[in-house]
Structure 1
Amino acid sequence: MLIGISPYIGPELLEALDRMGHGDEIVIVDAFYPGDTRSSRCIRADGIKVEDLLDGIFRLMNPDDYVKDPVVMMQPSEGDSADPAVEQSFQAVLDKYWPATPKIQKIERQAFYDRATRAYAVVVSGSIVKYGCIIIRKGVLPH
């Protein structure tokens, strides 16, 4: 165990976060997301909730403050709905570490999938909540 690193951040995820450059994106998804199909770098975090992964990640890296949407979630499909508590819990973790970051934006489902496919890595969590996926764009070190 390393001091200051969340026990939810395994070695494979820690390496990915370290290797990412500014502007690279990491996607944290629910347990149902087709991570192996949609990513060449799929990291498993079975049994770990997205909020716990976010808490560990935001301790180690900041979102990009040079773009208007450094953190995005999938917008519910037409006629569908998402539990607002999911977004609120993600926003609370973001605000805990990086309160100056713009609020989480929502993007259309296919746009989310397209953006996720281009991401540096996809982390498949153990969460089973609907619309519980999030993309984070890595920033440069804060001043």
Structure 2
Amino acid sequence: YDNAPARTMQVVDDPDEIPDTKAEFQRIIDKTADHPAIIQAVERFEFYEQAKRAYCIVQTAERRLYGNIILKKGVVAPS
């Protein structure tokens, strides 16, 4: 179990700022997830390191700053 199955990059020089993209990601997760999930903001270079270890990368048309998110999949129970 991971307390923060979603990660975004911290805003450079203002780690407490919450970009619009992160707020939107949180709304989507809250609306669709079976249970609450925290989005952890990760320091820029740590985010890059975690992204390097990703199993899969999906490119979207998102063009806003800080529009990247790392999602960690857990066990998927049968329906």
TM-score bracket, shorter-length normalisation: 0.7 to 0.9
Q: Select 2:36's aligned residue among 89, 101, 104.
A: 101
Map 1:1-143 → 2, pairs under 5 A: 66-78=1-13, 84-98=19-33, 100-142=35-77
Q: Give the drift of 1:99.
A: 5.1
Instruction: Give ranges in structure 2 of 5+ residues lacking alignment.
Output: none
Equivalent residue, structure 2, for 1:31: none
Deviation readout 1:33-81 (Å, 9 max, x if unpaired): xxxxxxxxxxxxxxxxxxxxxxxxxxxxxxxxx0121101000111589
Counterpart-to-counterpart distance in 2, 1:112 and 1:73: 7
Are the equivalent residues in 2 in contact too, given 1:74–1:106 (CA < 8 A)?
yes
Instruction: Give ranges in structure 1 of 5+ residues lacking alignment.
Output: 1-65
Deviation readout 1:68-126 (Å, 9 max, x if unpaired): 21101000111589663211211111111115233211000101000000000111211
Are the equivalent residues in 1 in contact too, given 2:9–2:41 (CA < 8 A)?
yes
Which one has a larger percent helix, Structure 1 or Structure 2? 1
Percent of aligned pairs with the same residue? 35
- Higher-Rg member (1/2): 1
Question: What is the CA RMSD across the aligned residues, in angstroms?
Answer: 2.2
| TM-score, length basis structure 1 | 0.48
Total equivalences in the alignment: 78
